Structure 1
Amino acid sequence: MTKLKFYLWLASINLFISTFTFGGGYVVVPMIRKYYVEKKGLFSNDELIEMAAVAQSSPGAIAINLSVLAGKRVAGTLGIFISAICSIIPPLVILGFISNWYAAFAANTTVMAVLKGMQACVTALIIDIVVDMYQLIQQENSKLLSFLVPVSFVANAFFNLNVIYILLFSVGACLIHTYSQQTREAS
């Protein structure tokens, strides 16, 4: 009965998170932190940040990927299925509902005002996760990583450089740095 209760909690929390988090995948991270890390203590904040990095680099929606990874971490294979299904159902239902009455939603000033307000909340949540990720980078004590973060921000924000080029440059710099470290250690 205890396992069934846990699986029901997992399903309900994924349904809740998926239903009430607007603004993209990064908004799910603070919600998962709140319920999985802070309230239940199922894994650590560092493990969550690692899962968020994997979820971001995997194909598909970050929110669903992260929910699946969290489900796997806490409940194994069954957790994957529960988390995946319960993360997909709310967006499908909401999008189906909105698509039927899109014209009414688009013209409604109250709906538009609510969506504008949600943008501010989403921005705050994304800033929170960016700060957490940067703090983890600082813990690595890597001069290269500490250099790449502000350079990447400036390249995108002020010079409007495509993110793909920034990622390719960052990956290349990290590969060269790792190769040179391994070469020095081998000598």
Structure 2
Amino acid sequence: MKRQESTGKMLWKLFRATFLLSAFTFGGGFVIVSLMKKKFVEELQWLEEDEMLDITAIAQSSPGPIPVNASVILGYRMYGVVGSLVAVLGTILPPMIILSLISVFYAQFRSNRVIALALQVMRAGVAAVIFDVVINLARNVVSTRRKVYIILMAAAFVAKVFFGVDAMLLILFCLGVGLLDLALQAYHRRKAVAP
């Protein structure tokens, strides 16, 4: 019985954390992923830094909204299918509630100068948070000290920014290089062990 209570409390904590993150995050998936890292890695210490980086990569390369994808993985990592459902519910409820209210008062919101100004100011904050995400992800890649990953990161950045290469192509290419690198590492380990 005590196990169920602690699981129930943890599921409530997971729901509350994802609900609050989703309710007070503006600017899309990259912003909420950064805040998820701060919440679940640094504050609650439910995940390691590498796990959050993996969750971010999978969430970005999977179809659908990044926050929902990240919540599915995070919830599953914590408490299986039930954890996924709880985390997704916590993530999707705030936007559904907020958008439902906005749709009712859409005409008033559209013509209100104060709301228009608030939205413009929030864009600056969103840009700062996205920049923070980029710096943190780049720092994590550099900390691996793997030349292949560092060169791949720089090449993907140049390809996207200067040549406008589609993000999905970059993700698939990086995935291919990562799988090839993994296969080469496995081959070298087997070769080193073989007599």
State the SS of the aligned residue for 2:31: helix
Change in Cα spacing, 1:167 to 1:67, as seen in structure 2 (3 Å) is: closer
1:35 to 33, 39, 48: 39
Mapped partners of 1:99, 1:112: distance in 2: 16
AA matched with 1:84: V
Change in Cα spacing, 1:183 to 1:84, as seen in structure 2 (3 Å) is: closer
Mapped partners of 1:43, 1:127: distance in 2: 22
Number of residues of Structure 1 aligned to a counterpart in Structure 2: 187
Mapped partners of 2:146, 2:130: distance in 1: 24
Mapped partners of 1:96, 1:179: distance in 2: 49
Equivalences for residues 34-183 of structure 1 within 5 A: 34-167=38-171, 169-171=173-175
AA matched with 1:80: S
AA matched with 2:151: F
CA RMSD of aligned residues (A): 2.5
AA matched with 2:99: L
Structure 1: state its 5+ residue gaps: none
Mapped partners of 1:154, 1:103: distance in 2: 42
Q: Is the 8 A contact 2:32 2:67 kept in 1?
A: yes
Change in Cα spacing, 1:143 to 1:168, as seen in structure 2 (3 Å) is: same
Normalised TM-score (structure 2)? 0.81
Normalised TM-score (structure 1)? 0.84
Mapped partners of 2:55, 2:37: distance in 1: 11
Structure 2: state its 5+ residue gaps: none
Higher mean C-alpha deviation, range 145-154 or range 86-95: 145-154
2:18 to 14, 28, 31: 14
Higher mean C-alpha deviation, range 119-128 or range 151-160: 151-160
